[in-house]
Structures are given as C-alpha cells and as structure tokens.
Amino acid sequence: QVQLVESGGGLVQAGGSLRLSCAASGRTFSSYAMGWFRQAPGKEREFVAAIAWNGADTFYADSVKGRFTISRDNAKITIYLQMTSLEPEDTAVYYCAVRRTRRGTYYTITDYDYWGQGTQVTVSS
C-alpha cells in the first residue's frame, strides 16, 4: 500500500499564494497518477489537479486552471500544488491521492486508491 502525507496548508489572504506538498511512501511503483482534491464544508469533494506518474502530463479543474500548478519531484516521490491568486472560494481541506489502475480518469474520485489525511487551506477576504 501507499502512505501519503500532506503539508503546507494554512491561512492566507485573498490574492496570496500557498504551496502544498504531498510525500508518498510505501509501494509506489505501478502507480499511474497522483492528484489533489478538496472538500469545503457542506460541499462534495471535488477534483483540483492531477499529474501522471511520469510527470509529463498534468490536468486541472476549470476553476483553478491558470492559478494552480501541480508538479512532481521524482527523487523524493513528492508532488506539489502551487496555488496563486487564492480566493475565499478556495477554502477547503485539500487531499492528496494516488491512482493505481491504468483504467480510469484523472478527475474521478472513486478511481483513486489511496488518500492522505488532508491539510486545511483557509483564504480570508
């Protein structure tokens, strides 16, 4: 199995920036994608961004495209989410996830197999 630990969450004012990190450990081989999802109070968990295991392809939700950037450090088996131009609507618990199967999509929650505990991001106006 895979263990995921998120970090970097916190409080930031609107328009500011924040970088989230997700360190993966365990049996990470044969994974096909890593992604970020978020869940705000009273709302469903939603897709934010994903990156292919080889780091060549990235995908973003329309709501964050142009503001957020996902990247990977292959040596450390860590992915990052650089968030800029943050808005109060970005306030949520952000979760890192790993998808094992070749079949599936980057944005479907149930296609992911392992999840971290989440890190809180709060954007004040």
Q: How many helices (H) and strands (E) does the chain have?
A: 0, 11
Q: Residue type for 64, please?
A: V
In whole angstroms, how large is the CA radius of gyration of the chain?
A: 14
Reported as a single tens digit per residue, the pLDDT across 63-113 is 999 999 999 987 778 999 999 999 999 999 999 999 988 788 899 999 999
Contact 78, 8 (CB under 8 A): no
Q: Say which residues have a Cβ less than 8 Å from residue 54's Cβ, sequence separation at least 6.
A: none
CA angle (82 as vertex; 45, 95 as ends), nearest 5: 25
Reported as a single tens digit per residue, the pLDDT across 31-67 is 789 999 999 999 999 999 999 887 789 999 999 999 9
Identify any residues that bridge with 114 across adjacent strands, giving them in sequence order. 98
